[in-house]
Structure 1
Amino acid sequence: MKKEKNAAKPKTKRPAKPKKEPVSQWMTNPLNEQVLDYHNYEMTQGEQVLYFILAFLIGGVVSQFFYGGLFQEDGAPTLLTYISNAAAFVVVGLIAGRVFLPVRSRKLAEKRRDVLRKQFRDMLESLTASLAANSTVRDAFNTAYTDMCMQYSDDALIAKELDQFRRAEQINVTLDVMMDDFAKRSGVEEIEDFNNVFQVCYGPGGNMSRVINQTHDIICERMEVEDEIQAKIHANETELNVIMVAPVLMVALMRSTNATFAQNLASPMGVAVVTVGLAMFVGAYIWGQKIIAVG
């Protein structure tokens, strides 16, 4: 009877885990065009290959400092020594390449947002000057587009964004809609703050010249303070990278100059100690990066 009951129960399949979709750096704007989402950076195939090979080689070379020279007999390398060296090179290199690509992608996204942030400050200066000369808001944005093309180029990030503002007039899309879309895609706090002020003042017809002028002064002062903070953070990040590289260089130097140290490092106990040390090493680096990010 029990067997019949068990047989009668339908087998329930576990729901398949949803596949992670690749992150895209493109979004659709109010003009129904594909534009950049500055939160993400999508590396080209050339960049992926270049950075992967670079990380693979560095990881493989570093692996030889810690896991090279195993299975020696009387201080002489054996066939297993060459096999283990190659295996360590490939395994550590693949791990380094896999880990480095998303890290590099985030860094490139941050770098692009920083470029946009600085160009946006110059755009605000152009807007302020145009509005002070009694230009309309629409004309001020058109003038800012011309100024940014002259100051940078037609391919500059801010010039491409202002070109969308300029073309929006042809299909009756208002400036506040374009500014709101730009702010959401930018990932830049100053642009989001400016958008909040712009949304409040543009519709009711407030004194845009005075508002944008005051907003420009406040944002520029805050950006100067943030630039000083970022300079100190970058200095700390450089110090952290130097501190993390130093142990690797010390191990490499001691292996090359002290045969006894190299033999002890290649022993089972040495491999275990090295593995624990590398785990602590990686944990300390991740922790240090989080401390810098909070700063």
Structure 2
Amino acid sequence: MIDYNQYIMSVREKIFYVITAAIVIFVIGLIFYRNCLIALLLCPLALFYPEIKRKEIIKRRKAELSIQFKDMLYSLSSSLSAGKSVELAIKDIVNDLEIIYPEADAYINQEIKWMIRNLEMNQPIELLFHDFAQRSGIDDIYNFSEVFSVANRAGGNLIEVIKNTSSIINDKIEIQQEIDIMLAEKKFEQRILNIIPILIILLLSIYAEDYIKPVFYTLPGRIVMTICLLLFIAAFLISKKISDIRV
């Protein structure tokens, strides 16, 4: 099954991301140095981009799984409220989840079907949830698996446990969505501000070429442009880090 803490890119994906990043880096290098050779020398930095993209994909998958897990808990709680055992409830919620997530590759659908197959081989449900939690790398799922395991063995109120867990996850997701909405405008402003230095250099290159020419063709000028480029990269990374608020 899927290990949500890992993502192995195909060769095709890596090539695509490297080429895309190399083009962007080359263009930026050309704008800052107006020298194809220097711009080409910067292109190997594109080799780091697939790793950055891989982390973004892992983060996105976990966010999707967290939302899907919340919906799964709602369905599971409803089935348990009808008096069904956990094992039967797990088998029953497949249809509900396929309505909510009709995509064949929806993560939670794959996980539930995997659980059903293992339940048919008499695997304990606690171990299945624990394995799922370990692979997910999501604290909420891990905490649920621990509480579920204790409650199931001790004969606790599973319905209440699931409802409480679902409520907590839902609250966290709603808070995260509110934060994302509040930050949406700021993130847009951040993107604009990240582009402005490049636009300024382009405009000066077009409309004040004699004025800006020394920074492209003299050693002190290139040192200054290198410092500016480093500051530009630092500002981009810092602004991205600041706007990445997680609950």
Instruction: Give yes or no for TM over 0.5.
Output: yes
Does residue 1:241 correspond to 2:191, yes or no? yes
- Which runs of structure 2 are paired with 1:87-126 in the superposition (5 Å)? 87-95=37-45, 97-126=46-75
2:203 to 238, 250, 253: 253
Query: Which residue does the alignment assign to 1:278?
Result: 229
Between the aligned partners of 2:118 and 2:43, the Cα distance in structure 1 is: 49
Query: Which residue does the alignment assign to 1:162?
Result: 112
SS of residue in 2 equivalent to 1:248:
helix
Q: Which moved more, 1:212-221 or 1:111-120?
A: 212-221
**Structure 1, residues 143-198: CA drift from partner, whole Å, max 9, x if none?**
12222223223321101111111011222211110101111111223212222221
Rate the CA distance shift 1:38–1:100 in 2: closer, same or farther, 3 A.
Answer: same
**Structure 1, residues 22-45: CA drift from partner, whole Å, max 9, x if none?**
xxxxxxxxxxxxx21112222222
SS of residue in 1 equivalent to 2:154:
coil
SS of residue in 2 equivalent to 1:102:
helix
Does residue 1:208 correspond to 2:158, yes or no? yes
- Which runs of structure 2 are paired with 1:14-53 in the superposition (5 Å)? 35-53=1-19
Between the aligned partners of 1:154 and 1:143, the Cα distance in structure 2 is: 17
Query: Which residue does the alignment assign to 1:141?
Result: 90
Moved over 6 A (4+): none
By percentage of residues, which structure has more helix?
2
Q: Which moved more, 1:56-65 or 1:228-237?
A: 228-237
Between the aligned partners of 1:209 and 1:180, the Cα distance in structure 2 is: 18
Which letter maps to 2:232?
Answer: F
Q: Percent identity?
A: 28
Between the aligned partners of 1:235 and 1:189, the Cα distance in structure 2 is: 29
**Deviation (angstroms), 1:250:** 1.1
Query: Which residue does the alignment assign to 2:24?
Result: 58
Between the aligned partners of 1:234 and 1:130, the Cα distance in structure 2 is: 38
Which letter maps to 2:42?
Answer: V
Which letter maps to 1:146?
Answer: N
Residues 133 and 142 of structure 2 are in contact (CA less than 8 Å); yes or no, is this contact kept in structure 1? yes
Query: Which residue does the alignment assign to 1:265?
Result: 215
**Structure 1, residues 124-161: CA drift from partner, whole Å, max 9, x if none?**
11111111111111111111222222322332110111
**Structure 1, residues 217-238: CA drift from partner, whole Å, max 9, x if none?**
2321222112212333454433
Residues 5 and 135 of structure 2 are in contact (CA less than 8 Å); yes or no, is this contact kept in structure 1? yes
**Structure 1, residues 82-104: CA drift from partner, whole Å, max 9, x if none?**
xxx33223222221x12322111
Rate the CA distance shift 1:241–1:221 in 2: closer, same or farther, 3 A.
Answer: same
Which letter maps to 1:284?
Answer: A
**Structure 1, residues 96-123: CA drift from partner, whole Å, max 9, x if none?**
x123221111111111111111111111
Which letter maps to 1:220?
Answer: N
Query: Which residue does the alignment assign to 1:180?
Result: 130
**Structure 1, residues 52-85: CA drift from partner, whole Å, max 9, x if none?**
11111111011111111xxxxxxxxxxxxxxxx3
Unaligned runs of 5+ in 2: none
Between the aligned partners of 2:86 and 2:122, the Cα distance in structure 1 is: 15
- TM-score w.r.t. length of structure 1: 0.77
Rate the CA distance shift 1:252–1:56 in 2: closer, same or farther, 3 A.
Answer: same
Q: Which moved more, 1:169-178 or 1:216-225?
A: 216-225
Does residue 1:191 correspond to 2:157, yes or no? no
- Please give the root-mean-square deviation of Cα atoms over the aligned residues, in Å: 1.8
Between the aligned partners of 1:209 and 1:149, the Cα distance in structure 2 is: 22
